[in-house]
């Protein structure tokens, strides 16, 4: 079965293997085919969620708030889908790379902010269709809850939960269970799937905010 992909994401042939791709300026040494560039699921958790066939509800031209933008690898693909893309990153070093990704894309708005303090960017970020969350910090469910305010009832949370960020020593399954339980206070979970073989001990989550 071939799950449907969001508008703007296509399957293309790269050196004999089929992979998902978007159209845009290459950013991280990814394979290209004409205007298309490969969205490497090993480098991107959202890419892994798509490659694994999770129904993300992503569409072209959606407004997106991206938490944990890091150096902008995944952000660059999200921005290729065309909508305004608010990219929040807390650490200055990766933010330097994020700036150069944003240089090639007029729809990225980079913000050096702490995703645990949404009040420090709510004066800039408008309500969005999608919140993508990839923050390697303890309290990932809390970050999702705090940023619930940017989504209306139809919005989607696409989160990659990293077990080792919550507790390095605990069993990942137990960590996921605890995070999912906390998420359910604020979101209805539509789909969860572990992201291996692309990312070990990561859980992909698709959720819709509770009213």
Partner 1 sequence: MTDGWFAGLDPDDTTAAAERVASGRADAPEDWPATAVDAGYTADTEEYYERLRAATMEATEAAVTERERADDQQLVHAVRAMADCERTANELAERVAEWGGSRYGEAGSGVGYARRIAEGEVGDGGESGDRALRSLAERVVDVSEEADELRAYIERTAPAVAPNLSMLAGPVLAARLISLSGGLESLAKQPSGTVQLLGAEDALFAHLRGGAPSPKHGIIFTHEYVSGTRREERGSAARALAGKLSIAARIDHYSGDRRPDLQRELDERMERIRSRGGDGE
Residues near partner 1 (CB under 8 A) are 84, 90-93, 95-96, 98-99, 102, 106-112, 119-120, 122-128, 136-138, 149-150
Helix axes 73-80, 92-103, angle to 10 degrees: 30
Provide the minimum distance between the beta carbon of 41 and partner 1 in the complex, in angstroms, as a whole number. Answer: 22
Strand order in the sheet with 108-112: 108-112, 85-89, 64-67, 128-133, 151-162, 202-209, 187-194
Q: How far is the CB of 140 from partner 1 (least distance, A)?
A: 13
In this complex, which beta carbon is closest to partner 1, that of residue 124 or of residue 174?
A: 124
Question: Please, which residue, 110 or 172, has the CB nearer to partner 1?
Answer: 110
Q: What does the DSSP 8-state code read for residue 107? A: T
DSSP state at residue 170: S
- Indicate the pairing of strand 10-14 with strand 17-23: antiparallel
To partner 1, the closest distance from the beta carbon of 15 in angstroms equals 31
In angstroms, rounded to a whole number, what is the distance separating the alpha carbons of residues 89 and 108? Answer: 12
C-beta neighbour count of 200 within 10 angstroms: 12
Output 32 or 137, the one with its CB closest to partner 1.
137
Name the DSSP letter for residue 194. Answer: E
Helix (H, G, I), strand (E, B) or coil at 87: strand
Q: Cβ(206)–Cβ(157) under 8 Å?
A: yes
Shortest reach from residue 142's CB to partner 1, in Å: 15
Q: Which is nearer to partner 1, 51 or 69 (CB)?
A: 69
Least distance in angstroms from the C-beta of 203 to partner 1: 20
Residue nearer to partner 1 on the CB measure, 38 or 202: 202
């Amino acid at each position: 079965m071939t799950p449907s992909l969001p508008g703007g994401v296509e399957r293309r042939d790269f050196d004999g293997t089929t992979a998902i791709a978007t159209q845009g300026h290459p950013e991280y040494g990814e394979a290209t085919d004409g205007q298309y560039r490969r969205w490497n699921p090993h480098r991107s958790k959202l890419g892994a969620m798509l490659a694994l066939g999770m129904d993300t509800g992503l569409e072209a031209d959606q407004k997106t708030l991206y938490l944990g933008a890091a150096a902008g690898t995944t952000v660059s693909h999200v921005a290729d889908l065309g909508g305004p893309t608010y990219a929040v990153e807390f650490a200055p070093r990766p933010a330097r790379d994020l700036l150069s990704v944003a240089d090639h894309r007029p729809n990225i708005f980079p913000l050096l902010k702490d995703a645990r303090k949404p009040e420090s960017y709510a004066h800039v970020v408008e309500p969005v269709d999608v919140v993508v969350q990839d923050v390697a910090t303890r309290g990932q469910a809390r970050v999702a809850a705090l940023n619930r305010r940017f989504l209306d009832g139809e919005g989607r949370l696409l989160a990659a939960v990293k077990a080792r960020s919550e507790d390095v020593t605990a069993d990942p399954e137990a960590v996921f269970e605890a995070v999912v339980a906390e998420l359910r206070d604020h979101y209805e979970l539509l789909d969860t799937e572990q992201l291996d073989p692309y990312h070990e001990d990561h859980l992909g989550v698709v959720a819709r905010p509770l009213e």
